[in-house]
Structure 1
């Protein structure tokens, strides 16, 4: 079997079941996102928000009896789920006024600025500046998914690039950021440079992390989804059980403990 086709497709922001309604209101009020609807199904509670720009943000309740959604082992780790903001300084000032904490800003290799936002329940969301959007959404601070929505800490750039190429079919971008300790991964099928890898000692413990903000990759056909699940097992990669009906998902980890999630829906 060839390497499965993994396509970035948004993700879930996890919240405790007992605080789900409170979290929905928090994201509607603080983020300015428009609530499309909520629902309860076989895998728990969900809420769907229309982002001001393209895309949809999804809230999901932790589920104690479902491994894919349990709060057990919760750890933010080195996997960042990144969202786009137009004016970085103004956005951080707004959240500070709202009582929402954030990290110090850092300059990324491409010259943009990023900072971690401590969202509802301490969940980490990462803001990434895109000046091209300035003035287009004046009432919104968090507009859509970032141009590079994943930022992963790894212990060795070269070996991580090889792993992602072999396991997920991504390749290193032609742009070389290695002198800055970064690499950029490209989805060849979508012609998109979309994952930052950052080498650093913080990833050297390789602890498996289960963060609150979880990016997902989509596999369209259900048959391909189950084939990918088995293919990962055949590569001696630990894979969770498949959960859900109509919507189905599972997760696995890269060698540095970054959690990678996969879903299909039909």
Structure 2
């Protein structure tokens, strides 16, 4: 195995894989139900093998990405019509019950409100006509109305082993240990605000939860600053016995990406420029 130090990873926001024909309607859904706005809009292809592409940046570094291609791309794809991922991208709101009632009365599919990590309450909801799952979380300390970012929840089957795995292969740091309650809070630095951290909750799955690879449409992105480190990191993960995709994107010059799976099949996405 190659001797290699894991590069410093930074959380770089998230991408949402949207079907080509639904791209504009997805924008309107997020505008209507999450009060988001379009910050940037491009006809951008995530891979040179695409025939067409669309990329729309909305709030909090969240990009909607759609593409057309005649071949299966090595990285930019999502599997649909299967079980839900054990990755939850969470959004905080001041009045969870009010938001839950609003969504439900407007035909948005939601779960019941439930208790979760951090001693607070949550509900899952399915965005757009495609049914892309997000999670709302109550935070009474928020002063303004609307929805703001929270942490990323990762369901794992063995909490202690996963803590070490994320330390060893992503360089995550422990922020708070609530193992006795079935979860821990870990962190990566933010990419564009490097004095701040993104929080990642590893939580113990129930015994009946599905364990296995899931290529969901919602992808938190880990950024590798140095391009050479990015390619070496891909090799390191592969040689460490971790299943990784081939590298997609513009490998000669431009954005490059790949994904890898943790021991429970959670898909982790990595990019560089």
Q: Which digits, 9 at most, give the CA deviation of each residue in 1:41-91, with x for residues without a partner?
A: 232221111x3xxx3221112656313222346542211111222221122
C-alpha distance in 2, partners of 1:45/1:202?
A: 40
* Structure 2 unaligned blocks of 5 or more: 47-52
Range 114-123 or range 38-47, more displaced: 38-47
Q: Which digits, 9 at most, give the CA deviation of each residue in 1:216-260, with x for residues without a partner?
A: 111122122222112211212121122223222110000000010
Range 187-196 or range 111-120, more displaced: 187-196
Root mean square deviation, CA, Å: 2.2
C-alpha distance in 2, partners of 1:196/1:103?
A: 20
C-alpha distance in 2, partners of 1:76/1:183?
A: 22
- In structure 2, the CA distance between the partners of 1:124 and 1:72, relative to structure 1 (3 Å rule), is closer
Matching of residues 101-116 of structure 1 within 5 Å:
101-116=109-124
Aligned with 2:10 (options 7, 24, 27): 7
Matching of residues 19-168 of structure 1 within 5 Å:
19-43=22-46, 44-49=53-58, 51=59, 55-61=60-66, 65-72=72-79, 75-120=83-128, 121-134=130-143, 136=144, 138=145, 140=146, 142=147, 144-146=148-150, 148=151, 150-168=152-170
The normalised TM-score by structure 2 is: 0.84
Range 39-48 or range 57-66, more displaced: 57-66
C-alpha distance in 2, partners of 1:163/1:60?
A: 29
Range 211-220 or range 83-92, more displaced: 83-92
Aligned counterpart, 1:217: 222
Corresponding pairs, count: 253
C-alpha distance in 2, partners of 1:193/1:60?
A: 22
C-alpha contact (below 8 Å) 2:88/2:135 kept by paired residues = yes
